[in-house]
Amino acid sequence: MRDDAPNSWESRADAFSLYGFTDLPSVHRRGAVVLTHGTGPYVYDVHGRAYLDANSGLWNMVAGFDHPGLIEAAKAQYDRFPGYHAFFGRMSDQTVMLSEKLVEVSPFDRGRVFYTNSGSEANDTMVKILWFLGAAEGHPERRKIITRVNSYHGVTAVSASMTGKPYNSLFGLPLPGFIHVGCPHYWRFGQEGESEAAFTQRLARELEATIIKEGPETIAGFFAEPVMGAGGVIPPSEGYFQAIQPVLKRYGIPLIADEVICGFGRTGNTWGCQTYDFVPDAIISSKNITAGFFPMGAVILGAELSDRVQAAAEAVEEFPHGFTASGHPVGCAIALKAIDVVMNEGLAENVKRLTPKFEAGLAHLAEHPNIGEWRGKGLMGALEAVKDKATKTPFPGDLSVSERIANTCTDHGLICRPLGQSIVLCPPFIMTEAQMDEMFDKLGAALKQVFAEVA
């Protein structure tokens, strides 16, 4: 609970920091949780309290908070070469090796990688690549970007315009030319009597109608998260990517998989597109790429886009884009280690091993009359709170039910995240069965307590 003394951590956090995506009345009442360190999946605050972080930080600390191999890789690279850029034909050896590795583990037989500091910048960069291509190939009108309602692609002006969330109107976004089509959440948006397969077909028809209405020659690309993450963990409806990809192909529109959350193991395979059996034209990666130990994003272009961008850049003699820290050697050394840790040190297997237990835990909690739906894939899952299960009626927004559940969990030493009316869980890949039991026990107790208060 908050310590109001002017020199307390809570007061100092309030006085000097602008919180991102934070329910301010709640943090003013309860105080910020100021953290000092972590071990395994636990983090510790300035008062010495431990929290099991069921959100892996922000989906990204998949190897936990003190993985010795990752810390060693960072230290060794800081000793060897602590920083460089990737401009003017220069880049670190680590950058060269990471690009080779990323193409090797991608679903593409050939490709090229461009580095950023975040997922937002990677999406932004991909949009600029598509615009660059349009201009270079004689189609400067090919600029519009299609994404989905409820999607999350980031916070820069472009990636926020891609994001299908209403709060972006607070910034006067989206920018012109960013179009949002339907969200593939069957439980919420399927119509009375409509099968899931028919729902999917309706979305594919809606996409095609939008493309035709906007003018196919004006569309630069379609971006989709394999499983929508910050939309509340929404796996695609049955056959979704198989239904929309032919539509996009018909009009020559690239499909970009935003794998910022799904990439590197979250859904049980290296990529979410593998889990849903489609091959995109490019992949956006971030978060798990360094297991959260360094800020990094990457655009991984498949062979065709890679060749076209290279040709377009050759024609004007350069690709005029880049960040000071693109391909940072320490970030690249950590990413090389993180990929090895996830793919070769049993983490990916642990995701597969734990998934049935994770799903069973979610399904068990969803038996509560105020949980309308559980959903998930691999180690990402959500429980959606409802006032009335039969009619799927949500609780009134002013009850802040999911925030209350998350706050109650925090009081009991569990960090999980409210998203809309859902509670989201995305535990680190190193979680043990006992820690998973602890997670569900604490969440179950919080659900009981809050539903008893509001129902």
Per CB under 6 A, residues contacting ligand PLP are: 118-120, 123, 152-154, 225, 229-230, 258, 260-261, 286
Q: How far is CA 287 from the centre of its chain?
A: 8
In the bound complex, which residue of the shown chain has the CB atom lying closest to ligand PLP? Answer: 119
Distance in Å, CB of 292 to ligand PLP, minimum: 10
CA distance 301 to 128: 13
Token pair belonging to 417: 């995240």
Q: State the alpha helices, DSSP H only, in 31-137.
A: 56-59, 68-80, 93-105, 119-136
CA distance 219 to 222: 8
Of 285 and 410, which has the nearer Cβ to ligand PLP?
A: 285
Distance in Å, CB of 278 to ligand PLP, minimum: 16
DSSP 387: S
Contact between 265 and 344 (Cβ < 8 Å): no
Of 153 and 375, which has the nearer Cβ to ligand PLP?
A: 153
CA distance 23 to 432: 31
Residue 9 backbone phi and psi in degrees, to 5 = -60, -40
Of 261 and 450, which has the nearer Cβ to ligand PLP?
A: 261
Q: N- to C-terminal Cα distance for the chain?
A: 25
b/e map 40-67, b = 16+ CB within 10 Å: bbbbebeeeeebbbbbbbbbbbbbbbeb
Residues near 435 by Cβ (< 8 Å), separated by ≥ 6? 40, 41, 52, 427
CA distance 391 to 388: 6
Distance in Å, CB of 258 to ligand PLP, minimum: 5
Contact between 57 and 81 (Cβ < 8 Å): no
Read out DSSP for 265-327? TTTSSSSHHHHTT---SEEEE-GGGGTTSS--EEEEEEHHHHHHHHHHHHHHTS-----TTTT
Of 41 and 154, which has the nearer Cβ to ligand PLP?
A: 154
Of 229 and 381, which has the nearer Cβ to ligand PLP?
A: 229
Of 73 and 230, which has the nearer Cβ to ligand PLP?
A: 230
Of 19 and 81, which has the nearer Cβ to ligand PLP?
A: 19
Distance in Å, CB of 428 to ligand PLP, minimum: 16
Of 226 and 302, which has the nearer Cβ to ligand PLP?
A: 226
Distance in Å, CB of 119 to ligand PLP, minimum: 2
Distance in Å, CB of 270 to ligand PLP, minimum: 16
Residue 398 vs residues 29, 401, 447: alpha-carbon distances, Å = 16, 8, 18
Distance in Å, CB of 179 to ligand PLP, minimum: 18
Which has the closest alpha carbon to 277: 220, 239, 319?
239
Distance in Å, CB of 118 to ligand PLP, minimum: 3
Of 56 and 408, which has the nearer Cβ to ligand PLP?
A: 56
Which residue carries 């990752």 as its tokens?
A: 70
Of 155 and 386, which has the nearer Cβ to ligand PLP?
A: 155
Distance in Å, CB of 115 to ligand PLP, minimum: 13
Distance in Å, CB of 406 to ligand PLP, minimum: 17
Count Cβ atoms below 10 Å from residue 368 Cβ, excluding itself.
17
Contact between 413 and 405 (Cβ < 8 Å): no
Distance in Å, CB of 312 to ligand PLP, minimum: 25
Of 234 and 446, which has the nearer Cβ to ligand PLP?
A: 234
